[in-house]
Amino acid sequence: MAAYDAFAWFYERYWNEEFHSLAFPILERIWVPRLRPGSRILDVCCGTGYLAALLAEKGYRVAGIDASREMIAFARARVPTAEFQVAAATDFRIAPRCDAAVSTFDSINHILDPDGLRRAFRNIAASLKRGAPFVFDVLLEEAYLTRWGDGFSIVRDDHVLVINGTGFHPGSRIAECRLTLFRRIGNAWQRADTIVHERCYSAAEIDEALAGAGFTGTVCYDARDLGMGGTLGIGRTFYLATKR
């Protein structure tokens, strides 16, 4: 996960708050009401721990996993009371079982093949108690066809970030984004070049993987209908399912 290790500092600085300022009110509307006080929550692909901190502030106990060591380092510093481990969603074990699970910011799309998606959902289900609610968001095809190729840059005195979405390939269902990162540390500039891939899953593939993992009662919400405006809401769907 070297790509995400290199990107962790920029992710922590620029993306966490922007996304979760819009996503957390949605979670409070569709998922949090199903949580008991003090619930133990599994945060899948927890990144740098921003969501974990929001949940911990509300009295929930958080166990987070992420495949990036640098992301987990940020998360541990941010929420020292939570339990974090470096692990991929397709290959992890959590004990004891959790009361609920969450995965945000199209993390599920970073799983690049349907078999991996099925494994991830099975791992999540195995980590949950019966009746536990699992919420996550994914980007569907509309997002990749409308905004994935957009590029932009951030230029500051001591860091520069350039993002170029090189496109979505309908045949493979894979989207690719290239990042060039510069940071001045001391008197020296460091450069990192990173390629991030995501897979566009169909609703049928997601439904099949959830059902096969033992989830039921799936409900879908268009992010825009729940108040997520701007480019973040385009093509984004929130799923809520329940462990049988």
Which pLDDT tens digit goes with each residue over 88-120?
999 999 999 999 999 999 999 999 999 999 999
Grade residue 71 by pLDDT with cuts at 50, 70 and 90. Answer: very high
Q: Which among 152, 143, 137 has a CA at the least distance from the CA of 173?
A: 143
Nearest CA to 206 out of 171, 233, 173 is that of 173
Q: Which residue has the tokens 């099949």?
A: 208
38 & 135 share domain: yes
13 and 48: one domain? yes
Predicted confidence (pLDDT) at residue 127 exceeds the cutoff of 90: yes
Domain count, the chain: 2
188/112 same-domain check: no
pLDDT tops 90 at residue 17: no
22 and 41 fall within a common domain: yes
Residues 104 and 68 in one domain: yes
Kindly report, residue by residue over 150-187, the tens digit of the pLDDT. 788 889 999 999 988 778 988 999 999 898 989 998 99
- Structural domain harbouring 220: 2-141+201-243
100 shares a domain with 22: yes
Give me the CATH number covering residue 185.
Answer: 2.20.25.110
CB 45 within 8 A of CB 89: yes
- The SS3 call for residue 170 is coil
Q: Are 75 and 95 in contact (CB under 8 A)?
A: no
End-to-end CA distance of the chain: 32
Asked if 175 and 131 sit in the same domain, the reply is: no
**Peptide bond before residue 96 is cis, with ω within 30 degrees of 0:** yes
Residue 225 has pLDDT above 70, yes or no: yes
Together in a domain, 176 and 96: no
Supply the CATH number for residue 45's domain. 3.40.50.150
For residues 181 and 217, membership in a common domain is answered with no
The DSSP secondary structure of 27-81, one letter per residue, reads: HHHHTGGGPPTT-EEEEET-TTSHHHHHHHHTT-EEEEEES-HHHHHHHHHH-TT
CB 167 within 8 A of CB 175: yes
Cβ-based neighbours of 47, under 8 Å, separated by 6 or more: 11, 16, 66, 68, 71, 74, 75, 105, 107
pLDDT at 59: 98
Do 135 and 194 share a structural domain?
Answer: no
Pair 237, 123 in one domain: yes
The whole-number pLDDT of residue 99 equals: 98
> Residue 7 has what pLDDT?
82
Q: Are residue 39 and residue 150 in the same domain, yes or no?
A: no
